[in-house]
Amino acid sequence: MTRLLAYLGMDVTAMTMNDWTGVFLALVAVIGMVATYVLVFRPSNKEQFEAQGRMILDDDDPVKLGDKR
C-alpha cells in the first residue's frame, strides 16, 4: 500500500501555478458532472426532462416562423 501511495503521491512544493489551475479545473469538472448526473437521473425530474425532449415535436408553438407580426 505504501508503494502505491508513493507512486500516486505528488510533490506539492514543486507544483507551478499551471499545475494548481489544472487540479482546480479538474475538480470543478468532476463536481459539475456529478451534479448534472444527480439532476438528470433523479426520478422526480423525469417528467420535466421528457417534456423538454418532446418540445421540438410539438406543433402548438405560438410563434410561427416566417409569419409577419
pLDDT level of residue 31 (50, 70, 90 thresholds): very high
Q: Letter for the amino acid at 50?
A: E
Q: What is the pLDDT of residues 17-27, one digit of tens each?
A: 999 999 999 99
Distance, CA of 38 to CA of 14 (rounded, Å): 36
Helices (H), 1-69: 2-8, 17-41, 46-53
Q: Name the residue with higher pLDDT: 69 or 30.
A: 30
